[in-house]
Structure 1
């Protein structure tokens, strides 16, 4: 596999870049864990390999938004079964509801995707199975005008990574490397026992 830490960091960065761009990537939908010890699968929308940030989309009314505003610690778990590689990432999260990146993410989304933010807030109780969407939008793409009410519910969840753990699972013996972000933004790596 890899014998140099810089090769591992390059592999890690390439995998996260692909995960954000390719919806068929096994790492496209990682588990995101918040400080309230809750976990959920989310779609990775972007990875900035210079800033080492992950971008997700969320509903500002979701419990995770309140949890991250109270405690910004976040962990993200990626796994590629075929490659036998696990990436554990930790960082500081920010929920951005009206920032330039939020406006751009909204502009880049389709109306069909934006309609998710027209529904009831995540976790709202119901007496029957529900999408939470108003009936007129189930399976229907709303117009720009109909989506005006959705915009205030949309937010970007940005995670600035501070530590990374890369694990290659092999029958000959697992290989693991850990990286911590230095104050200057560089990554300091070391080999770890799996």
Structure 2
């Protein structure tokens, strides 16, 4: 790769787009952080070319839902160990439970992905014993699409509008790092080289 700010930004967006398409990609399940300092691994479902939107799926009963609501700071950390590239992103998150974005995401989700929204107890809820909260009859098989329909009530989408992107490639010579910032999705990205 020819090292320019444009090529580095393109590298980041291409990695994220491929990670959203390919479940075997190293960046497919980045770490997502909320303002309370809580971190969790989430599956990246979409990354637009300009990073106007990263999309993740989540359970409406999760504690992060009320924390993020219609607007809250969210951070995302993705790492590719083979390329030794780290992407740190910060932006504004929002939760969508109803409407065209959430409906389209639910409609595209496979039955096996929808199964977790059928859990009888939401994320973080108390259980009597170790194990899953998924109904017993669905523990060892994928549900049919019809069997997943009741899970729609628990399904939500986390959208993150990326406002800053930090690209770092670790090397034996000390690494290469660039930072990109913007005020909102309508503003152009401003990039600069920074010390690793």
Q: How does the TM-score come out when normalised to structure 1? A: 0.94
- 2:35 corresponds to: 35
Q: How many residues align?
A: 194
Deviates more, 1:3-12 or 1:145-154: 145-154
Contact map agreement 1:87 1:166 (CA 8 A) in 2: yes
Residue pair 2:73, 2:93 contacting (<8 A) in 1 also:
yes
Describe the superposition over 1:28-69 as per-residue Cα deviations: whole angstroms up to 9, x where unpaired. Answer: 110000011100001001111145310000001011112212
Q: Does 1:108 align with 2:108?
A: yes
Match of 2:83 in 1: 83
Aligned to 1:4: 4
Instruction: Give the deviation of 1:12 after TM superposition.
Output: 0.9
Which stretch has the larger CA shift, 66-75 or 155-164? 66-75
| Contact preservation (8 Å) 2:70, 2:94 | no
Between the aligned partners of 2:194 and 2:48, the Cα distance in structure 1 is: 26
- Structure 1: gaps (5+ residues): none
Matched, 1:53 2:53: yes
Question: Secondary structure at 1:146's aligned position in 2?
Answer: helix
Partners of 1:168 and 1:144 in 2: how far apart? 42
For residue 17 of structure 2, what is the aligned residue in structure 1? 17
Q: Is the 8 Å Cα contact of residues 32 and 42 (structure 2) preserved in structure 1?
A: yes
Q: 1:148, CA displacement in angstroms?
A: 3.0
CA distance in 1 between partners of 2:7 and 2:146 (Å): 49
Distance in structure 2 (CA, Å) of the matches to 1:69 and 1:32: 15
- Structure 2, unmatched stretches of 5+, are none
Is the Cα contact below 8 Å between 2:44 and 2:54 reproduced in 1? Answer: yes
Distance 1:156 1:31 in 2: 16
26 and 144 in structure 1: CA distance in 2 versus 1, 3 angstrom threshold: closer
- Alignment match, 1:62: 62
> Contact 1:115–1:147 (CA<8 Å) still a contact in 2?
yes
